[in-house]
Structures are given as C-alpha cells and as structure tokens.
Amino acid sequence: MTTATTLDSGAANLQLGTNVLYLSKKDVLDLGITRAEILDHTRDALIEHGRHRYEMPAKIGVHPYPEVFYHAMPAYVPGKNAVGCKWIECYPQNPAKFSLPQTTGLMVINDVESGVPVAIMDSTWVTAMRTPAVTVLAAAKLHPAAETFGMFGCGVQGKEHVRYAAEAMPSLKTVYVYDTHEAAAEALIAELRDEMPFTLVRGKSPEDVVKSSEVLGSATVILKEPLAVVKDEWISAGQTILPCDLNTFWDPRTTQRADKYIVDSIDEHELFAEMGYFPDGLPTIVAETGEVLADVAVGRENSDQIIVNSNIGMAVCDVVVGRAIFDRAVERKIGSTLTL
C-alpha cells in the first residue's frame, strides 16, 4: 500500500498528485519480469476474481469500423492493492496496411489510498503476456497431464502461448502450430525450437492439428460472424479447447454441445452476446475460469468431457500485473516522470 506522498523513482522523486511515472515498452522490458512471475501474478488475479474479491465492470467500447474495437478496462483488486484502467484497441488490418501491431494501448495505475494516477505505461506487453498466461493456467488445471497441444495463430500471441505452455504444462511432449500464413508458423518454429522442452511441429491443416492434440488454443481475429475454421466433426471426447478469439474460429456447434462451457467473465461474455458476437446464442456457462482455479467450481470431472474455456481478457489481470510493474519500476528507478 502506498503510504508516502513521495516515491524515489528514476531521476526525480515521484510526488503523488504532482507527477506520474511514465513507462515505455522498453522500460517495461528492461524490468526483467519473467514469465514465471507473470504466471504467479495472473494466477493471483484469477483466484481473487474466482472468489469474487474484485470490482470490474464489463468492457465498454466504441467501434469505428465493423472489425475494430476500442475497450476501456477498469478494475480494482483489493487483495493486490491494484486499481487502474487499460485503454486498448484492436485493428486487425494494421500489420498489412500500416506495418503496425494489431493491438496497442496504454494503462493507468492509480494509488488506492489517494486515488491519484501514479503510472502510465504501454499496455501491449502486458496484454501479450497475461493473455497466454490465462490460457495455460486454465489448460494446466483442466488438462494437467496433457502431452499434446495445438495452437492456432502464430503471431505475438501464438509465440507467447507456446512459451507459456513450456512454463506451466510440464507433461507436454509435442506442440502443433498452425497459421493461414505458412511463413508465420515456420518463423515461430525457427525462433522457438531450441528453447522449448517439447517438439514443435507445423500442422498440415486445421483438421490435422485438431486430431493430433488433447488441448487446443486459438489467438486469431475476433469477428461477429463465426468463421468456423475448426469443424465440429473433428472434435473428439476429452479435448480441452481454449479460445482467445470468442466465437470466431470454432464451429458454434462445438461450444453449444460441449460438456462444459467455462468463461473468464460471465458479464463480459453476456455483453459480447448482446453486441452480436454469438449469433447462434451464448452457450450455457457453468463456471468462470477463476472459480475453477480457486477450486470454487469443478473443472474437468472425467476424461471424456469436452470442455470449452473462453478467455477474452479481464482487467483484473491487467491491473495486478500493472501494479507489479509499477512497484518494480520504483524499486529499480526505471522510467520517466511527467508533470500532471
């Protein structure tokens, strides 16, 4: 908890209500926060969420173009002394049109005691880290002995899913990767093969990946109309499916017939359903991801269950990780002070 009005940070003192610590993406990277630490912070945030010790409204947003969204994501997690808001946007055409990332944004962290902002930071790294952390924490809980994992999407998120799988899923022997752009899949394998404790294989087709994997993840695009790239008839008993892209990539029949449909946030999925992202209707939700991790709700009950666990990203994870970044930056005197 912040108790002083002045914090020694960087070249100048950070005076509450007078200035704010600015952290660029490079600053955040220079802090050296490990994936193991991100997993710990994300697990803590999810468990707090699962035990209903948080305040977080469903995402609000604006949509200048049909495929584009801006989201304001505030949250307060008392147990982690974390409060703030992430402002993030997604432009799927950015890489091709402008050679810019699909997702960019900023995050503000506030002092809980006084309410004043204490940090402004790049949020792309936070998003890229906490999203796959949620996926693999859920995968490890729902399918702890999995030896095979299939990843659809080989961009920044795809690479990080593979890296986090190595951290949290020790039984994995083979990870299959697939991207509509073959070069992206090949680049992922070339970059990661030497550092992974399992074998990386480029999938021949979506069907091949599905039929080869016990656990499946996807980080592609988010669209209102399902692409249904993965056909329902390819899914078999006992598989665990973890989309980060709502209802886009998977055949809606799979989510509707799954033995369990679990989501990170019921409120947010209901909001997306109201906006039209589930044209076939939102499947019946049995639990939230944090409830399963906190053992408040039961996850997998037998080896034949098909489980779909949709995680679209929650601000509780962002502000907990953001608070940890701020604390580390103050400790190591990294960042620049800006006058409010």
**Maximum alpha-carbon separation in the chain:** 61
Question: What's the mean pLDDT in 82-106?
Answer: 91
| Domain with residues 133-313, CATH architecture | 3-Layer(aba) Sandwich (3.40)
Total Cβ atoms within 10 A of residue 182: 11
Mean of pLDDT values over 170-175? 98
Alpha-carbon distances, residue 14 vs 261, 281, 313, 334 (angstroms): 46, 49, 31, 12
Q: Could you tell me what percent of the chain has a pLDDT over 90?
A: 84
Strands 69-77 and 60-62: antiparallel
Please name the helix (run of DSSP H) or strand (run of DSSP E) that holds residue 87, with its range, or none: strand 82-90
The distance of Cα 119 from the centroid of its chain, to the nearest Å, equals: 21
State the average pLDDT over residues 317-325: 97
| pLDDT of res. 6 | 59
In the chain, which residues fall in CATH 3.30.1780.10? Answer: 6-126+316-339
Crossing angle of helices 35-50 and 315-332, rounded to 10°: 140
Our measurement of the distance from residue 269's CA atom to the centroid of its chain's CA atoms, rounded to an integer in Å, reads 15
Beta strands per DSSP E along 123-214: 148-152, 174-178, 199-202
Indicate the average pLDDT of the chain.
Answer: 93
Predicted pLDDT at 222: 82
Mean pLDDT value of segment 138-150: 98
Looking at domain 6-126+316-339, which CATH architecture does it have?
A: 2-Layer Sandwich (3.30)
Nearest to 179, CA basis, from 222, 231, 214, 221: 221
**Strand-strand pairing, 148-152 and 174-178:** parallel
- β-pairing, 307-310 with 148-152? unpaired
Containing H/E element for 293?
helix 289-293
Beta strands 174-178 and 199-202, pairing class: parallel
Cα 102 from Cα 157, distance rounded (Å): 11
- Tokens 């049909």: give the residue: 66
pLDDT at 9 over 70: no
Q: What is the CA radius of gyration of the chain?
A: 20
* CA-wise closest residue to 180 among 158, 200, 212: 158
In the predicted model, is pLDDT for residue 174 greater than 90?
A: yes
For 201-252, the pLDDT digits (tens) are 999 999 999 999 999 999 998 888 899 999 999 999 999 999 999 989 999 9
**SS3 at position 340:** coil
Both structure tokens of 53 = 């010790």
Q: How far apart are CA 232 and CA 105, in angstroms?
A: 35
Of all residues in the chain, the percent with pLDDT exceeding 70 is 96
Residue 77 forms beta bridges with which residues? 82
Three-state secondary-structure class, residue 297: coil
Whether the per-residue pLDDT at 158 is higher than 70: the answer is: yes
Confidence grade of residue 200 (pLDDT, cut at 50, 70, 90): very high
When mean pLDDT is compared over 53-62, 87-96, 290-299, the highest value belongs to 290-299
Query: Which pLDDT belongs to residue 290?
Result: 98
Mean pLDDT of 55-63: 92
Place 2 in a pLDDT band, splitting at 50, 70 and 90: very low
pLDDT at 1: 44
Report pLDDT for 17: 87
Chain position carrying tokens 């946007």:
89
Tokens of 302: 């037998």
102 pLDDT higher than 70: yes
> pLDDT (tens digit, 9 = 90+) per residue, 287-300?
999 999 999 999 99
Percent helix, strand, coil in the chain (nearest 5)? Answer: 35, 25, 40
- 174 has which bridge partners? 148, 199
Name the residue among 199, 201, 197 with its Cα closest to residue 209: 201
Q: Which residues pair with 150 in a beta bridge?
A: 176, 216
What does the pLDDT average to over 40-60? 96
Residue 252 DSSP one-character state: H
Average pLDDT of the residues in 30-44? 97
Average pLDDT over residues 143-148: 97
Residue extent(s) of CATH 3.40.50.720 domains in the chain: 133-313
pLDDT score of 253 more than 60: yes
Least confident of 86-95, 136-145, 167-176: 86-95
* Distance (Å, whole) CA 169 – CA 184: 23
Amino acid identity for residue 64 in this structure = P
Separation CA 174–CA 213 (nearest Å):
9
Tell me: pLDDT of 161 over 90: yes
